[in-house]
Amino acid sequence: MKSEKLRIALKNRKFKVGVAIIVFFALFALIGPLVTPFDQLGYYPVKLHKMLLLKRSTPNLPPMSHDVIYAPGREINVTHYLGTDSFGRDLYAQVVYGLRNSLIVGLIGGGIATFVGLTIGFLAGYRGGWTDEILMMITNIMLVIPTMALLIIIAAYMSTRGVIIESIIIGLTAWPWTARAIRAQTLSLKNREFVHLAKLAGLSDLKIIIGEILPNITSYVFMVFILQFGGAILAAIGLDFIGLGPTRGISLGIILQNAVLWNAINLGYWWWAIPPGLIIALFITGLYFVNIGLEEVFNPRLRRE
């Protein structure tokens, strides 16, 4: 059965395109930093005795420009694949490290959101009664409060923020729709015979949920995770853009914020303002493609080919 689904999935064009896009950008984030001598903020680090000098290039160079960096006693030839910003910092390095951070936020934030959503959805759906009422009340309240507003107010009061903290607060605010969806799935499964059988066998609630219900919705959970993964990346890029991103380090949202604050659009420096967002838009399109591909695999009614 499993291999049958996999075979269908590998024939699905959307699934294949999506996987290709995701793998491409994942490799880019992994290997990309290795081919640049610049640090994550786009400076060229030069060691001088025990000091570390951070050198800049010429500002506002378009993509694929060659430039010379003058270090004490030597001249270094460098290529700026994506040009430089108005401070002479290399943009390729910023983008590739920013993408790495975006993927980390997506994995951790999306993972936490999926996990919390699963736990609450299972509990509410399986236990029913008061547990359900209370958990769903909390879920409905969280669902109406705009996640972004909540993120803003939490992040604004944190004096130091890192990528991990950002992922955690995104994960802890993004779970409500998942909880609702998982609850609905659990409700439809909990009166099935195999669940009753497990109950008669005296299995605990936890064992029934993990051993009987979860295996029946793994594909669904996987698709939920993909959506949460993309959602966390988009939430982070928005948060970074309005100035609540990591206080140290770089992210795609921070690059875009700098571009807008320093007038890159008016001045025509497209290489500063366009690539960071384009990468994210393409990557998330890839995630969606994997998702619709999987949906078509598991739900033949949607297949159109």
Partner 1 sequence: MLSGIRRYLIRKTFVYVLTFFSAVTIDWLIPRLMPGNPISIMMSRFASLPEASKYMYSYFMESFGLDKPLWVQYINFWKAVLHGDLGISTYMYPKPVADIIKDALPYDIAILLPAITLSWIVGNWLGAIAGKNKKLDSFLMPVFYFLTASPYFWFAIVLAYILGAKLDLLPISGAYSYGIMPSLSLEFIVDFLKHWILPFLSLFLVMLGGWAIGMRNMIIYEVEADYVRYLEALGASEKTLMKHAFRNAILPQVTGLALQLGTMVAGALTTEIVFSYPGIGYILMQGILNQDYFLIQGCFLVIVISVLVANFIIDLLYAVIDPRVRFSFTEGE
Residues contributing to the site for partner 1 (CB under 8 A): 137, 140-141, 143-150, 152-154, 156-159, 177, 230, 234, 237-238, 241-244, 256, 259-260, 265-268, 270, 273-274, 276-278, 280-285, 287-289, 292, 301-302, 304
Q: Least distance in Å: CB of 165 to partner 1?
A: 12
Q: How far apart are CA 271 and CA 188, in angstroms?
A: 50
Residue closer to partner 1 (CB basis): 102 or 186:
102
Q: Least distance in Å: CB of 262 to partner 1?
A: 13
Query: 230 with 288: CB under 8 angstroms?
Result: yes
Q: Least distance in Å: CB of 285 to partner 1?
A: 4
* 3-class SS of residue 268: coil
Beta bridge partners of 80: 65
Outline where DSSP puts E strands in 72-163.
Answer: 74-80
Closest CA to 77 of 65, 92, 93: 65
How many residues does this entry show for the chain? 305
Q: Least distance in Å: CB of 191 to partner 1?
A: 20
Q: How far apart are CA 84 and CA 88, in angstroms?
A: 5
Q: How far apart are CA 276 and CA 286, in angstroms?
A: 16
Please give the structure tokens belonging to residue 107: 């994995």
Residue closer to partner 1 (CB basis): 203 or 288:
288
Q: How far apart are CA 90 and CA 149, in angstroms?
A: 33
Q: Least distance in Å: CB of 130 to partner 1?
A: 16
Q: Least distance in Å: CB of 229 to partner 1?
A: 12
Start-to-end CA distance of the chain, whole Å, equals 21
